[in-house]
Structure 1
Amino acid sequence: MPNNPNFTHHFLLATPNIDSGIFEKSLIYICRHDKQGVLGLIINKPNPYTHISKLFEDLDIAVTQSELRHKRPLMSGMLNPEVGFVLHTGQPIWASSFVVSENICITTSRDILHSIATGQGMSHFELCLGHASWQKGQLESEIANGDWLLIPASQTVLFQTDYDKRWQTVSEQLGVNFDIFSTEIGRA
């Protein structure tokens, strides 16, 4: 692993070493990796208890897009689960947006929610509640320990692959068969 890796716009794929909790079989999108650490969003675990339209209703935002009645927010990490992040395509035109990579941004300001509710502003988005983060060097250590596999991210997986197929899709892209994956370290 290089001395100063940058995992921004990569997926982290949980290996069988992580066998419990929210990170088990998680696929995480790395939004930021800098000298302070890493910020990521779990992108394959929808909230089974609510829909985006219900969250918008609770925020007094009128929804005109019928598909929002079926779309679920993602449970994207244990940290700050009350904080929403909108992962989306397009440009950072809202009050609190930053670019992750070409044509992928994160926005945390409320103004984007009004655009989503009326179907304006972006072709693809995920509403993420909470986040995952690692201190400087922590994630690199977990990768070296075999807890995570790393692969460049793709918009297809981020926005067009069913939630329940994302982890398996990325496993297959890596050529990993977790049915025969060993968590034991061998010695010769």
Structure 2
Amino acid sequence: MPRADTIDGMDIGNIRSSERGSLHGRMLVAMPGMPDPRFARSVILICAHSADGAMGLRVDQLAEDISFPELLQQLEVLPEGHERLSDPGVRGIKVHAGGPVESGRGFVLHSPDYHNNNSTLQIEPGVSLTATLDILKAIASGNGPRTKFMALGYAGWGAGQLESEVQANGWLHCEADRELIFGSKLEDKYEMALAKIGISPEHLSSEAGHA
């Protein structure tokens, strides 16, 4: 798993110290007219947003054909047959599809009880992001964060691209909350996010304005 100090050309260290964009830490909700089928009915947490661009993780879709124990073996965090691979606390962790960019790269959204000074980015109070092997080793050993969301891949936008898509009514956005990020009912997250904006899915059209 690559280090988290660069994401799609953006230096996370600079994002920490530079002015954050208005969408940092918010949830994107796809409009019905979303032209990219990969993001139809998607809900995405924007983990970094600045003048350099944006990156986010989809929080409502499972990754296909891989379990967390299999991922730990692929990344050589634990060897095949290790006793921790059959532990319920490891087997119960779901792997999600965070986005189409670098789909083999792992990201963990988590509670702040885990922190790595070199690679953890605080998104909002109570929610952090780490993308190094260290956090997977901690989780595998039973010393990871209390709350976690594992994703492979991410969604990325170049400078000004996300703002343009929002202005073109490609996305709505709302405040993030723990249930939208960490909740297990993935199929409900789209309607939950719309409800936070005050919109019923049946009344939403591709011509609706953005929040």
Q: TM-score, normalised by structure 2?
A: 0.79
Which residue is equivalent to 1:142? 165
1:116-161, Cα deviation, whole Å (9 max, x unpaired): 1122131111111111111222111111111110111111221134
Q: Which amino acid aligns with 1:173?
A: K
Residue correspondence of structure 1 range 49-64 to structure 2 within 5 A: 49-62=65-78, 63=84
Q: Distance in 1 between matches of 2:175 and 2:52?
A: 21
Q: Which amino acid aligns with 1:112?
A: I
Checking the alignment, whether the CA contact within 8 Å between 1:76 and 1:130 is kept in structure 2 is yes
Secondary structure of the residue aligned to 1:179 is: helix
Q: Which amino acid aligns with 1:29?
A: L
1:16-47, Cα deviation, whole Å (9 max, x unpaired): 01165220011000000111011111111111
Secondary structure of the residue aligned to 1:22 is: helix
User: Residue 7 in 1 paired to residue 33 in 2?
Assistant: no
Q: CA deviation at 1:76?
A: 0.9
Q: Distance in 2 between matches of 1:34 and 1:11?
A: 15
Change (3 A) 1:19 1:68: farther
Question: Matched residues, percent identical?
Answer: 26
Q: CA deviation at 1:58?
A: 2.0
Q: CA deviation at 1:178?
A: 2.2
Q: TM-score, normalised by structure 1?
A: 0.87
Q: Distance in 2 between matches of 1:115 and 1:5?
A: 31
Q: Distance in 2 between matches of 1:175 and 1:143?
A: 18
Checking the alignment, whether the CA contact within 8 Å between 1:44 and 1:163 is kept in structure 2 is yes
Q: Which amino acid aligns with 1:45?
A: Q
Checking the alignment, whether the CA contact within 8 Å between 1:16 and 1:178 is kept in structure 2 is no
Q: Distance in 2 between matches of 1:48 and 1:13?
A: 22
Which residue is equivalent to 2:120? 97
Q: CA deviation at 1:72?
A: 2.4
- Alignment partner of 2:148 out of 125, 129, 138: 125
Q: Distance in 2 between matches of 1:29 and 1:59?
A: 25
Checking the alignment, whether the CA contact within 8 Å between 2:31 and 2:205 is kept in structure 1 is no
- Structure 2: give runs of 5+ residues left out of the alignment: 1-19, 79-83
User: Residue 35 in 1 paired to residue 63 in 2?
Assistant: no
Q: Distance in 2 between matches of 1:93 and 1:47?
A: 26
1:74-105, Cα deviation, whole Å (9 max, x unpaired): 11111111111111111422642221111211
Question: Once superposed, what is the RMSD of the aligned Cα atoms?
Answer: 2.0
Q: CA deviation at 1:109?
A: 1.1
- Structure 1: give runs of 5+ residues left out of the alignment: none
Change (3 A) 1:153 1:83: same
1:46-90, Cα deviation, whole Å (9 max, x unpaired): 113111111112223333541432432111111111111111111
Q: How many residues align?
A: 182
Secondary structure of the residue aligned to 2:202 is: coil
Which residue is equivalent to 1:109? 132
